[in-house]
Structure 1
């Protein structure tokens, strides 16, 4: 239990705290809704990917949430969010966010798999947010 606590639970708690402390209070309520939606989409996609591949579901949900936050941050900084969305950018942002989260939580065990799952998250977020307001 002690090894499990050190390797899985604590990094997940730290990642959730970093997202909650640094990203969520940074914008007004409307932006937080978009951020929370993208994090939710990412976490759900990561969890489903973890079930399909037989990996740790909680860890994959954290990586998916990080990918969703990365995609949201990329598109939040653009002047016209809806028209400037590009599939390549969203996929790469998702892959990058998931890979970094995987390196932090996993100690570089499956970098390519993390990038692939993050890219899937970025693609799904792009598909759901393509025709926004």
Structure 2
């Protein structure tokens, strides 16, 4: 589990995770990118509370490992100023079977989207606005 300002290499992270996932029959990976839905986004600024954020993500990753009997799980989430199209986060799960790996990855992604202690601000030429929580994200988390 990593919370970092620096970019990450998705390919290298996925390869290292897969290589270390001995006994797994399935590895699922996902990376989220900064979206520019309006075509006006200059940057996404992501803030967090060091220590609190890492503990919260580590706890939910441990829950996923236990709940779906994972071989391993990886979460990387960035903070700071990110441009459109930049990787913002990565989730990887390894399990004996694909169903558990997919379910755990979706669970982790839903948690990161709705409950992880990050605060996001969209910056455009017109100024900056905090990103509000979305009902759809809360509903997705509710299925777990």
TM over 0.5: no
Greater RCO (CA < 8 Å, at least 6 residues apart): 2
TM-score, normalised to structure 1's length? Answer: 0.36
Higher strand share: 2
Higher helix share: 1
Please identify the structure whose Cα radius of gyration is greater.
2
